[in-house]
Amino acid sequence: MPELPEVETVKNELTPHVIGHTIISITPVWAGIIKVIPVEEFTERVTGQKITALSRHGKYLLFHLSSGDKLVVHLKMTGSLILGASGPPQYTRAIIHLDNGQNIYFRDPRKFGVLKLIKDVSEVESKLGPEPFDRDFTAKVFAERLKNRTSPIKALLLDQKFMAGVGNMYADEALFAARIHPARISGSLTTEEIAKLHRSIRKVLKAGISNKGASIMTYYHPDGSTGTAHFQFNVAHGMRETCTVCGTRIKRIVVRGRGTYFCPKCQPERKY
């Protein structure tokens, strides 16, 4: 949390309020949120820069600045960007002050979030696998990337170098939609199962974006409201006690250290 749909929602909702506006200053309420370069250098490079575009790469949000720098925001587990002109909300770790009187508050209760500056988007993209919505990321390409993989499929979906943007919630939902057990060895999936999972990943992510993200823990929209995607979850986060398809009790297991929810009847375990 937040995952691709949540970051995409933040990007979409911030865009009309920040594009073309200038950062007049930045207040590092907690200096530890700024990474790689010293806080003083960071604030100096950001101050006076116009925001020319916003983009998303995986779970990263990038503010494109007139200087050519890109201000990278990684919300990590509990981060949110709140837009407002009044006082900062609780747990604000940094404040970006804009020339239109608005402030962007980086709220992050657990202090895992990151702010940093890069020169080229490749510095982010090179660390990530393909985007699920990329035109070139076909079911055939997906199958090639799965070939001979010995990791559990749930763990592989969470690997951002394998595919960018999918996290714990939407991996569980996609595997349920595709009727695949989360501990299944990735390389054992059939061509039909791979095609179904490929479609399911895109489907659950699109639904998540349509519902403006899932507010399971501390995720908020820039206006402070909450998303509704979690109300549509079938298994993720144990939002439902029983399966919406067969009525079987939803089960929780741990896959490579991550809590995982699935229906044992709709997603039967198979030995390979």
Please say whether the beta carbons of 97 and 84 come within 8 A: no
Domains of the chain, first to last = 4-125 (3.20.190.10), 139-262 (1.10.8.50)
List, by residue number, the catalytic residues: 2-3, 59, 258
Alpha-carbon 199 to chain mean position? 19
Q: What is the pLDDT of residues 97-149, one digit of tens each?
A: 999 999 999 999 999 999 999 999 999 999 999 999 999 999 999 999 999 99
Residue type at 206 in one-letter notation:
K
Closest CA to 236 of 154, 136, 168: 168
Q: How much is the average pLDDT of 146-154? A: 96
Q: What is the pLDDT of residues 58-110, one digit of tens each?
A: 999 999 999 999 999 999 999 999 999 888 999 999 999 999 999 999 999 99
Kindly calculate the radius of gyration of the chain based on its CA atoms and give it in whole angstroms: 20
Q: What is the mean pLDDT of the chain?
A: 95
Tokens of 148: 């001979």
The predicted pLDDT at position 25 comes to 97
The predicted pLDDT at position 40 comes to 97
The predicted pLDDT at position 216 comes to 76
Q: pTM of this prediction? A: 0.94
Four-point Cα dihedral 233, 239, 244, 245, nearest 10: 70
